[in-house]
Amino acid sequence: MAMTQSGLVADALTERTGHEVELVGVTTEGDVSKANLAQIGGTGVFVNALRQKVLDGEIDFAVHSLKDLPTAPAEGIALAAVPARDDPRDALCGDAKLADLPRGARIGTGSPRRMAQLRALRHDLEVVPIRGNADTRLRKVTSGEFDAIVLAYSGLTRIDRLDAVSEIFDPEQMLPAPGQGALAVECRADRADLLQILAALDDHASRTAVTAERALLAELEAGCSAPVGAYAALEERTLHLIGVVAGYDGERQVRLSVSGHPDLAERLGRDLAARMIAKGADQLMGERTS
C-alpha cells in the first residue's frame, strides 16, 4: 500500500509541476514486526526510517499515511504538503454487516481505537488483535480465521479491494483515527526549493481538517495506540470537529464536538481536548483492560 500511495503522489506531482519522480522503497520496523503496534512503540514505527533517509539526503521527500505521524514536530523535517484527503471512514470486511454477525463472531483489528468502538457497538463480539498488510488480513477472513476485519476505506480503495467491504461505518458509529484517509508529504525543512515544488500538492481544506484532529490528539498526549477518534470537516467557512476517547472495554466513552472558524483549527482541537479531559477522557486512556 505504501508504494501505491507514493506512486499516486509522484504522479500528481509530475502532472502539476512537470518534475519526474523516482520511487524508492524503504522498509520500516512497523512493516516487519509481528507485534502489536502498542508493543513496538505505536506512533512513529512507520515513519522514523523514512525521516532519517530524508535527513541523510538519501531521498528528497517521503510519503506517509498521515495518521501514522507523531504529533510532536520532528527536528529538521517539514510537513510540505497534505494532498486532498480520501474518504476517512472505517470499513467492515466480511460477508455480513456488523448487526448481522452472529454472537461471538471474531473481528480482527490492529487498532485499539477500533477495538473500543466495536465493543461499544456490540459487546457480544470477540474483538481480536491482528497484524499484517491489508491482503494478509483479508485472507484471514476468507480462510475462516476471522468472521470480519476492520480496515480504512481509503486504503482499500487504493489497493482496489472494495469488493471485500460489507459495511462502511458512518462517523456517528465509529470515528476514524485523526488524519485517517490523508497522506503526508515530508521533506527537509531547509529545502526551500523543494518546499515550493511540493506545495503544489497541498490541499487547504484537508490540511485544515487534519490540523484540528492532530491538535486534539496532541493535547490528549496520545498516539496511534490510544483509543482516540476524531473527524473534522470544513463546510463553507465553518470547521466542525468531533472527538471521542473510548474505554477499552467499550463501556464508557467521552464524545464531544466543537465548531469554529477554520483559521482557528489548532485552537479548536486543543480546546475540545481540554473539554474532553475535564469529562474524564484522560482516565479512560489510562485504564487499559485488554
The catalytic residue positions are 67-68, 113-114, 131, 137, 224
- Give the H/E segment covering residue 259: strand 253-260
Look at residue 69 and give its three-state secondary structure. Answer: coil
Look at residue 94 and give its three-state secondary structure. Answer: strand
CA distance 83 to 74: 20
**Rounded CA Rg of the chain:** 19
Taking Cα atoms as reference points, which of 224, 255, 225, 226 lies closest to residue 242?
255
**Residue written as cell 467491504?**
165
Taking Cα atoms as reference points, which of 228, 250, 197 lies closest to residue 38?
228
- Give the H/E segment covering residue 155: helix 153-158
Taking Cα atoms as reference points, which of 91, 230, 113, 72 lies closest to residue 163?
91
CA distance 78 to 128: 36
* Distance (Å) of CA 44 to CA 51, 56, 66, 70, 213: 10, 18, 11, 6, 17
The distance in angstroms from the start CA to the end CA of the chain is 29
